[in-house]
Chains A and B, each alone.
Chain A
Amino acid sequence: MQESTFSAVPLVAVLLPWVSLLAILAFPKRAEKLRLWLCFLGSLATFGVVLSMLPGILDGNIYTIKLASVVENLEMRLTVDTLGYYFGLVLTFLWLLATVYSISYIDHKHNRFFAFMALCESFILGCAFSANMFTYFIFYEMMTFGSYPLIIHEETTMARRAGYKYLVYAIAAGTVLFFAIVAHYFWGNGQLGFGRYGVLSLEFASRAALLTVFFTYLAGFGVKAAIMPLHGWVPDAHPAAPSPASALLSGVILKAGAFGIIRVCFNVFGVDLMRELKVYPVVAVLACITIVVASVFALTQDNLKRRLAYSSIGQVSYIILGLAMLAHDGALGGVMHLAHHALMKGCLFLCAGVILVKTGKKNISEMAGIGYQLPITMICFSVCALAMMGTPPSVGFVTKWLLGSGSLEAGLPVYIVVLLASALLNAAYFLPIVYIAFFRWEGDEVEEHGERHHPKLVFGKEADHELVVPVVILAALVIIVGIWSNVPGFPYSLVSKVVNVIFP
């Protein structure tokens, strides 16, 4: 790996979303479409700038820029390493699609929604590119508050309550996280940066101290990553938020927590220290419980977005489980699942949004025959639902395969049982939706024989292009990334570089 080089590009990327904010401030009342498309341009430009770093990153370059120095050893710094770049690429891409989608989806208070979308993107990109825990924490907290208006956007009682709950959980988590960082700073010899093999060691601190640091980090990030006892806000916030915001919640904001845990495991503690401290069984048990219990909860939900939210809780724990395996393939599968799940669940939430906009239906039991009204959307939904079960060829299969291979590598085939149980439960709560959408319709049970009125597939009258195009792009990527996983820029090319360094 090369030395890090100074570059302003990370800062430009982080600041670019603010362009949308400028557009909104410049003419808040007039030319609504133009304003919203300018927001889209801001998000497109951000994605473009992040993409432009790809060749350098693949060559092993690290870009860094210092923002401010608070005291000695405590500075605000942006650094783009491979892992951070990977998260940044995923999130800017999903953000781009969600922004396009929102142009048609959001029907009131556009300015507030788009402004906070842009702010959130900037903050979370800051998280992805931060060079140390201090910077990460600052961006992470700003992102928490920036995403609150997205959740309560509808301003219904339900949305307000969900937003309140979100704040309670997030602020409590922030406090815990703050303590974790202070403890890390204190016991880590003032090293808050991310080291390639971790920065903490038993030289400077006792076992108990390091265990405290680890579990406070886990509790702090676990709220966003929805590890089971801390997941309470997720199933309320997702159905309450507008669909593009739910897609981002599931696809990116939950991952910010998971990404924090990845950083803690890889770059703060390091794999060797994790092994020595023997913390991984606890993490693995928590992840396994979350995966299975969340799927069981998802089974009983009738509200589509609530079911998807529970599914997200389970799926994010795949990432945690992959890390806890402490094996090459496990870590590879877990970290890749960050992108994979963003693609799949992003698409599923956007589909739920199309259904809501076009038919006003929220509950699965009302969705009979919906596949005939919205064929493209529901085909995309089915693709992602099958992918969630780990059906090949799809990104879900890649994850499942790598995690299974990783659990063999770790010598614990019991994880395979968890993976299979989860896949079975996934099938049990996703396939009925597909079945109801395509093989049932109003009045289909009237007669056994003779002519029945079959609905016909109606293509081309589906919804606005702004809604359908992101859905189709995501569903196509679910398959394409699953088939040609090692194209440069796809998750495998980036994550394998990181994981090969850590697990040679």
Chain B
Amino acid sequence: MHGEKIAVLSFSFLPALALLLPLLGALGAAVGGERRPRARNWSAVLSTGGTLAVVACAAARVVGSGPIYFQLGILRLGERFSCGLEVDAMGAFFALFASILWFAASLHAFRYMDHEHKRTRFFLFMLLTETATLGVFMVQDFFSLYLFFEAMGFSAYLLVIHSETPRARAAAAKYMGMTVIGGLSLIGGIFLYLGYAGTTSFRPLVESAWLTGPFKVAALVLLIAGFGVKAGMAPLHIWLPDAHPAAPSPASALLSGVMIKAGAYGILRTVLSFLQTPAAHGAEGHAAAAHGAESAVHAAGGLAADVRMLGFAVIWIAVVTMFIGMLLALVQRDIKRTLAYSSVSQMGYILFGVGCLGYLGAEGAMGMGGSLYHIINHAFFKGCFFLAAGSILFCAHELDMFKLGGLWRRMPLTTMFWCLAALGIMGIPLGNGFVSKTLLHHAVLESHHLAEGARLATAGWVKAAEIMFIITSGGTIGYITKMTYYTFFRRPDPEHASHLEHVKEAPAWMLAGTGLLAAGVLFNGLFPGLLLRRLVGPVVGTVPGLDVHYVEHLSHTPIFLWANVKEIFIPLGIGLGLFLLGAWPDLLGVRRRGPDLFRLRLPRWLGVDFWYLAAARNSLRLLFWGRRTYAPVKESVVSLSKRAASAAVHAVRDVLYPSLTLRPASWVSRQAVQLYGSARRELLPRIREYQGDIAVGALVIAVSLTLFLIMRLM
């Protein structure tokens, strides 16, 4: 298909094996069932572990010697559409951290699920979701991606609704609605992309003449909205803060750690696909793809202004997302809900990098690198947080942070892992978040620099975005400190202290899962140079259309510099200030007076889903209003036809018949009237029976005639 590309592509069983192993694990879990619970749990752990090994091999091979493929041979519709696996460096990168998280979650779930019901169903669908999610990362066209993306969305429904409490049900309904709507938006976008690019592959082939302009924008908007639903992008994030806390903790870790990244991955792919104009994919473009984007600067010269505007839009969507998420996380009292809002906020960071990539175009390596680094970081620390929260729920049967306290004494290891994750998310040096936030900050500075240099009208707004970025980082420090303090370090209230007396450290399985991710946090924070050179740099380098110098620059960005470290002090000041503002009475042990920042009850109309619900309710009302108004119309059609029939009868009986009684027509007319009367007796009830059909028929004919006439006249 793509000339040179085939030379680099090599065949491998590894992708297929990576998808097959979780399926086998699911089979094992189903066979083991409730009768052999240990076999079932082991099946989950072994299959996720095996998958991790396979994916690691595949990733090593992809980064070392180029992409690999496996022809599935399914869903083949003619020459143009078929579903096959193909893993490039970026896909391998995502698949790698996804399988690490799945392994950690299944370790944790080994014991955690003891206090849940329907465990077999949980393991079964957890593993099915792994297959689907890995599939999302292992394809190179939107056609196959849609297949796995939908499978992921639907199988994760079972994880969200798992506990089947009214709250979980409501959350799952919201989740399902958003999944369906997102899926439709996605396939609509894919169709338009097909029209625009002539292929569903991530590498556009042609730019057809008629599908440009508004259609291209529509394709972009639909694709980004479709992926954005999963990514928790504001204002489509409404399902996320309900669904993530409702799921069992290992599943929350997966939802927050991986599934929303699948959305971010989709957005990244979309932006990259639209960055490559087909011109860049000519002979030169091929060479660029093969030899690491040598001549892509040329392509960027023609970078359309609309992609830059798109990047700018994504930057601000990201800023809004991160700020709203942070603000709402600050006022929650449930640990998992705080973490869920934090996920929304952190997805904002990831999208922020994607936006910078779009804004900078070919020079956007830093934005993409920061985004990728933050994706893997967020997966580790948020996974670790959720697993630790699961341990807390398992041991203390409580998730309200104001009813907890002093857990560091009783659960020291969990506390340690939690604090490592906190170090990461706050962006303090030696935590992994410091690295990615530094990269993202560099990216936004570069964007600002570029905008200033080119005298773009948006320069000021980019500066504003940077300031919001710093404020949000401060808020993040605020809510994490709050949560850590109340859960682990504050002396518990006397009324709740008795419940916490018997709390013990979590079982080893759960510690293993949490610890694995905490180790990941530490590793990413301590060896940023290694990761940038060996993983993130090469991954960004394979993207056609990116300037190779900027990729080099990204790979060798020094992290531990005073210039970077001093950036942390402003957010740190904001964060600690917020923390003290909310927590001073508890710190000092005095009684609280006046408004309390950490227990604020926000009015419902502040939330965007309040408005969605209102819109949905009102449109339903409109529909029913339509039905109510339709009923009189139907009635009047029916009564009119009845009245017409009876008028005709009267006309015959009272006017026509008397005039016909003259001989010789009288016999004939009497017969005719008798016939008519019997026909009326027979027919009128029938008419009554079919009145609905007649009315519907009349309406449809009228509507279609009108439409037809309109089409003709236009």
Contacts and interface: CB of A to CB of B under 8 A. Distances in A.
B209 to A, nearest CB: 11
Interface string A375-396: 0000000000010011111000
Residue of B161, B165, B184 with highest tally of chain A CB at under 10 A:
B184
Contacts of A289: 700, 703-704, 707
Given A448-B165, A486-B76, A424 B181 contact: yes
Contact of B77 (A390, A416, A420, A492): A492
Interface string B299-318: 00000000000000000000
A408 B151 contact: no
Nearest to A227: B700
A232 B690 contact: yes
A404 B75 contact: no
Interface stretch (B93-101, B186-194, B525-533): B186-194
A232 B708 contact: no
A496 B708 contact: no
A257 B411 CA distance: 71
Nearest to B168: A439
B700 to A, nearest CB: 4
A229 B649 CA distance: 28
A263 to B, nearest CB: 23
B605 interface: no
B188 to A, nearest CB: 5
A228 B707 CA distance: 15
B704 A282 contact: yes
B166 A161 contact: no
B166 A393 contact: no
A230 interface: yes
A411 interface: yes
Interface string B172-212: 11001000110110011001101100000000000000110
B81 interface: yes
Given A281-B708, A391-B150, A439 B169 contact: yes
Contacts of A486: 76-77
A454 interface: yes
B78 interface: yes
Interface string A472-504: 000000000011111000001000100000000
Given A229-B696, A229-B697, A404 B187 contact: yes
B454 interface: no
Nearest to B164: A439
Contacts of B700: 228-229, 289, 293
Interface in A362-410: 386, 389-393, 397-398, 400-402, 404-405, 407-408
Interface string B139-164: 00001001100110010000001001
Nearest to A328: B78
A462 B211 CA distance: 53
A286 B704 contact: yes
Contacts of A296: 623
B77 A401 contact: yes
Given A230-B697, A232-B693, A492-B77, A411 B154 contact: no
A393 B184 contact: no
Interface in A263-320: 281-282, 285-286, 289, 293, 296
A454 B118 contact: yes
Nearest to A427: B180
Nearest to B72: A483
Contacts of A427: 180
A390 B146 CA distance: 11
A175 to B, nearest CB: 17
A499 to B, nearest CB: 10
A140 B164 CA distance: 51
B192 A424 contact: no
Contacts of B693: 232
Given A420-B188, A439-B169, A229 B701 contact: yes
A420 to B, nearest CB: 5
Contacts of B161: 439
Nearest to A297: B696
Contact of B184 (A398, A423, A435, A483): A423
Interface in A411-465: 411, 413, 416-417, 420, 423-424, 427, 431, 435, 439, 444-445, 448-449, 454
A161 B81 CA distance: 48
A401 B81 contact: yes
Contacts of A389: 180
Nearest to B151: A392
A386 B704 contact: no
Interface in A216-273: 228-230, 232
Interface string B64-88: 0000000001111110010000000
Contacts of B147: 392-393, 397
A454 B117 contact: yes
Interface string A330-349: 00000000000000000000
A479 to B, nearest CB: 11
B190 to A, nearest CB: 8
Contacts of A413: 191-192, 195, 215
A401 B78 CA distance: 12
Contacts of B73: 484
Contacts of B154: 386, 391
A476 B701 CA distance: 40
A404 B696 contact: no
A248 to B, nearest CB: 23
B184 A424 contact: yes
B283 interface: no
A416 B161 CA distance: 31
A445 B191 contact: no
Given A393-B147, A420-B188, A482 B75 contact: yes
Nearest to B179: A427
Given A405-B194, A444-B164, A496-B78, A281 B711 contact: yes
A405 B690 CA distance: 39
A405 B143 CA distance: 12
A258 B326 CA distance: 56
Contacts of A408: 191-192, 194-195, 211
Nearest to B712: A281
Contacts of B146: 392
A431 B176 contact: yes
Chain B CB count within 10 A is highest, among A232, A408, A431, for A408
B187 A484 contact: no
A282 B183 CA distance: 30
Contacts of A420: 184, 187-188
Contacts of B143: 401
Contacts of B654: none
B689 interface: yes
A13 to B, nearest CB: 30
A296 B619 CA distance: 13
A285 B77 contact: no
Contacts of A232: 690, 692-693, 696-697
B173 to A, nearest CB: 8
Contacts of A485: 75-77
Given A401-B81, A413-B191, A413-B195, A285 B711 contact: yes
Given A391-B183, A407-B191, 9 more contacts: A161-B689, A228-B696, A232-B690, A281-B708, A296-B623, A392-B151, A393-B147, A413-B192, A482-B75
24 contacts: A229-B697, A232-B693, A286-B704, A289-B700, A296-B623, A391-B183, A392-B75, A392-B147, A392-B151, A393-B74, A393-B75, A397-B147, A408-B195, A413-B195, A420-B184, A423-B184, A435-B173, A439-B172, A448-B165, A482-B75, A483-B74, A484-B76, A492-B77, A496-B78
Would you list the 9 A-B pairs with minimal beta carbon distance, nearest first?
A232-B693, A229-B697, A392-B147, A229-B700, A408-B195, A404-B191, A427-B180, A483-B74, A420-B184
Interface of B: 73-78, 81, 117-118, 143, 146-147, 150-151, 154, 161, 164-166, 169, 172-173, 176, 180-181, 183-184, 187-188, 191-192, 194-195, 210-211, 215, 623, 686, 689-690, 692-693, 696-698, 700-701, 703-704, 707-708, 711
